Structure 1
Amino acid sequence: MTGLRVELRRSTALWAGLLVLVSGTGMLLLITSGSTWWAGNSTSAVLLLRLPLAYVWALVVGLAVFQGMRDSRAGVTELFAATSRPGWVRLGTLATAVAGTVAVAGALLCAGLVAKVALGGGFVSIGFVPLMVTVVLALASSVLLGLAVGRLLPHPLTAPVALVATFMLATTAGRALEVREPGDEISRLALLTPVLDPPSSDLVTTSTSVDLGQVVWFTGLGVTAFLLLVARTHLGRLTALVPAGLAVALALAIMPVKYSDVLVTDSIAGKLVCDDEVCVSQVHAAGLPTVAAAGRKALAKLAVLPGAPTEVREDTSAMAHLTVPQRDQRIVYLPSQGRPRVLTMTEDQVRLEMLAGAGVPTCSPPNTFDTYGAVVRYVTAGYFNGELAELPSDSLMWSSSRMRAEIDEAWQRFRGQSPDEQLDRVTRVRQMLLTCQDSERVLDVLKAGR
């Protein structure tokens, strides 16, 4: 313990831990300013840490490499090699001090996020634990690798090169994980880094295969890094590579190939909580009374339709940020992961959102805008509501004079038909939306154009 206390004072251990806390907190404040979705679920909060980890990771590796060159810079390498005390004991103490402090700092950063969620009244579950373990292992093993590289390559340029190389590796891995479709294949090598840009959702987490593969990889990397740090011979250094080699082979065999298997629905936070026929996720249970009241009123309005829906469900799919919302003839799905978030609206606004599209969500992929589809949503919501009203999910249509004119024109043509004809056309539109047919053609049906 005495040696450990000495290393904590004389090495960069405490500075490295402080660097993790300060830089991690600073980056989190920067990327979360103006957004609150992550504060609703402890798992989402810790998952969000993967985004600034690219910067923190690089800084920690650079500092560890600098620390690993200490003996060389002080000119005492041969002196320590000649002492009777085994080198692995002294280097192990240094590694424990630096890697341990960084690991504790990483754990404190995760714990701070969980505490913030808890104090803010958010949902806390054990789902964040695998994510926290991965972050801690990634930081600790990277520190050990940095110490080993610094000791083996004691050159003034080693530390800055290692820092830049780590940052470039992180950004390259992040780009390799960018996809457009859930079924797109991703590079499993990119999953060997702790970096990930999570979607703006409090309902997703990384899959078990990703967590397990990363734990295996970072554990093997840490063992190899420590053996490289204490090895004195070329044979010993070659032997030290075996754990990392075995770990990467096993990790790659475990890692998923498709992006849809990287992110999955949080099984705890996404569990449905129901009030009769209306259900929302457990993480959004506080909004159930409002949604239930709005849902019953919406289902009563929709009951005039043939094959009318009988249930309301929150869409908790993990790929909701990439695909069109789920649709089912029996169920009205609430796309809670969109913007604005349906479950934060008033009862009347939620009811209007359910009525729009005759109980069927938009067919537009996320981050796209379909004028025809938006007009259809406004007119169908107006039919059940008795009059046109603003839809928060399509507020741009309502506030734009040109687009508002399109809504009014479609509404007048629709209202010019007989009540039986209106019901028939809304019924046809609902069936077309269930199969996501061309939105312009759907609008023509509403306006009696076809």
Structure 2
Amino acid sequence: MTGLRIELRRSTALWAGLLVLVSGTGMLWLVTSESGRWQANSTSAVLELRLPLAYVWALVVGFAAFQGMRDSRSRVTELFTATSRPGWVRLGTLATAVSGVVAVATALLCAGLVARVAFGGGFVSIGFLPLMLTVVLALSSSVLLGLAIGRLLPHPLTVPVALVGTFMLATAAGRAVEARSPGDEISRLALLTPVLAPPNSDLVTTSTSVDLGQVLWFTGLGVTAFLLLVSRSALTRLAALVPAGLALALAVSVLPARYSDVLVNDSIASRLVCDGEVCVGQVHEDRLPVVAAAGRAALAKLAVLPDAPEEVREDTSAMAHLTAPQRDPRVVYVSSQGYPPPLTMTEDQVRLELLAGAGVAGCAAPNSFNTDEGVVRYVTASYFNGGLAELASDPFMWNNDRLRAEIDQAWQRFRARSAREQLDGVAQARQMLLTCQDSALVLDALTGTR
């Protein structure tokens, strides 16, 4: 313990821990929005840390490499080699001090995010623990790797090369995990870094296979890095690569190859809580009274349709940010996506959102725009509302003169039909939306132009 206390004072261990806390907090503040949804769920908060980790990870490796060059800079390498005390004891104490402080600092950073969520009235569950364990292992093993690199390659360019190389690896890996559809294949090797850009959702987390694969890899990497740090011969250094090789083989066999297997539902946060026939994810339970009132009002309006829906549920699917919303003739889904998210709207706004499309969400993928589909949503919502009204999820169409004119024209054509024809048109549009038929045909059926 005496040696450990000495290393804590004479090494850069405490500074490394402070670097993690300051850089992690600063980068999280810079790259995320104050209105970000990660503040609503402790699991999302720790997952959000994966994005700025590209910068923190690089700084930690570079800082550790600088520390690993201490003996070389002080020109005492031969002196310590000649002492009777085993070199692995002294280097092991140094590694324990630096990696231990970084591990504690990382855990404190994650705990601070969880506390931020708790004190902000957000949802806290044990779902963040696997994510925190992975981040702690990633940074502590990277410290050991940096120390080994600094000791084995004591050159003035070692630190900048290690720092820049780690950052480039992190950014390249982050891009390699991006996808445009749930079925896209991603690089398993990219998942060997702790960097991940999570979607703007508080309902997802990393899958068990991702967590297990990363834990295996970073544990093996840490063991190899420590053995390289304390080794003295080329043979022992070669043998030190075995744990990382085994960990790599095991991790690659466990890690998923499809994006839909990387991010999955947070089973705790997305568990449905209900008020009668209206349900939302547990993480949004505080919004249930508003959604329940709006949902019951919407179901009462939709009851005039044949085979009318009977339930209102939040769409908690993990891939909601990449695919069109779910559709079911018995269920009206509340989208978990959009700006602003429907669950943050007022009761009247939520009611209109549920009535749009006659209780069926649009077929366009997120972050895409379809004019005909937008007009259909406005006309159907206005039919049940008794007059044109703005949809909070699509203010652009409402405030754009050209698009607003298209809405008005479609509304006038629709209102020119008899009451029975209007109801039949809405019912037909609903059935077509359930099967995602061409939006132009849906609009024609609604307004009676075909």
TM-score normalised by structure 2 residue count:
0.99
- Partner of 1:364, secondary structure, is coil
Question: How far off is 1:337 after superposition?
Answer: 2.5
Please name the residue that 1:443 is paired with. 443
Q: Percent identity?
A: 78
Question: How far off is 1:363 after superposition?
Answer: 0.9
Aligned AA for 2:331?
A: I
CA distance in 1, matches of 2:180, 2:294: 34
Residues 1:319 and 2:322 are matched in the alignment = no
Q: Show CA shifts across 1:204-244 (max 9, x none).
A: 00000000100000000000000010011111111110100
CA distance in 2, matches of 1:415, 1:263: 45
Query: Superposed, which structure 2 residues align to 1:37-436 within 5 Å?
Result: 37-436=37-436
The answer to whether the Cα contact below 8 Å between 2:357 and 2:380 also exists between their aligned partners in 1 is yes
Question: How far off is 1:340 after superposition?
Answer: 1.2
CA distance in 1, matches of 2:443, 2:212: 49
Q: Show CA shifts across 1:268-307 (max 9, x none).
A: 0000001111000000000101111111110111111111
CA distance in 1, matches of 2:402, 2:16: 57
CA distance in 1, matches of 2:367, 2:36: 19
CA distance in 2, matches of 1:188, 1:200: 23
Question: How far off is 1:120 after superposition?
Answer: 0.2
- Partner of 1:449, secondary structure, is coil
Aligned AA for 2:164?
A: V
CA distance in 2, matches of 1:351, 1:26: 39
CA distance in 2, matches of 1:32, 1:69: 35
**Structure 1 residue runs of 4+, over 3 Å off?**
none
> Which runs of 5 or more structure 2 residues have no equivalent in the other structure?
none
Q: Which moved more, 1:321-330 or 1:337-346?
A: 337-346
CA distance in 1, matches of 2:41, 2:430: 34
Question: How far off is 1:266 after superposition?
Answer: 0.2
CA distance in 2, matches of 1:368, 1:337: 13
Question: How far off is 1:445 after superposition?
Answer: 1.2
Q: Which moved more, 1:192-201 or 1:401-410?
A: 401-410
Question: How far off is 1:447 after superposition?
Answer: 1.5
Count of residue correspondences: 450
CA distance in 2, matches of 1:31, 1:390: 32
CA distance in 2, matches of 1:74, 1:405: 77
Q: Show CA shifts across 1:72-116 (max 9, x none).
A: 111111111111111111000000111011111111110000000
- Partner of 1:363, secondary structure, is coil
Aligned AA for 2:403?
A: M
Q: Show CA shifts across 1:337-363 (max 9, x none).
A: 222111111111111000000000111
The answer to whether the Cα contact below 8 Å between 2:38 and 2:45 also exists between their aligned partners in 1 is yes
CA distance in 2, matches of 1:33, 1:198: 13
- Partner of 2:394, secondary structure, is helix
- Partner of 2:332, secondary structure, is strand
Q: Show CA shifts across 1:349-389 (max 9, x none).
A: 11100000000011111111111111000000011111111
Aligned AA for 1:131?
A: L
> Which runs of 5 or more structure 1 residues have no equivalent in the other structure?
none
Q: Show CA shifts across 1:153-196 (max 9, x none).
A: 11110110010100000000011011111000000000000000
CA distance in 1, matches of 2:402, 2:161: 55
Aligned AA for 1:326?
A: Q
CA distance in 1, matches of 2:149, 2:29: 32
CA distance in 2, matches of 1:345, 1:335: 12
Q: Show CA shifts across 1:111-155 (max 9, x none).
A: 000000000000000000000000000000000000001111111
- Partner of 1:322, secondary structure, is coil
Question: How far off is 1:34 after superposition?
Answer: 3.8
Aligned AA for 2:437?
A: Q
Q: Show CA shifts across 1:396-423 (max 9, x none).
A: 1111122111111100100100111111
- Partner of 2:429, secondary structure, is helix
Question: How far off is 1:33 after superposition?
Answer: 3.1
The answer to whether the Cα contact below 8 Å between 2:320 and 2:336 also exists between their aligned partners in 1 is no
Aligned AA for 2:57?
A: W
CA distance in 2, matches of 1:292, 1:28: 34
- Partner of 1:26, secondary structure, is helix
- Partner of 2:273, secondary structure, is strand
CA distance in 2, matches of 1:31, 1:288: 30
CA distance in 2, matches of 1:210, 1:297: 42
- Partner of 2:312, secondary structure, is strand
Aligned AA for 2:235?
A: L
CA RMSD of aligned residues (A): 0.7
CA distance in 2, matches of 1:17, 1:202: 29
Question: How far off is 1:36 after superposition?
Answer: 2.9
TM-score normalised by structure 1 residue count:
0.99
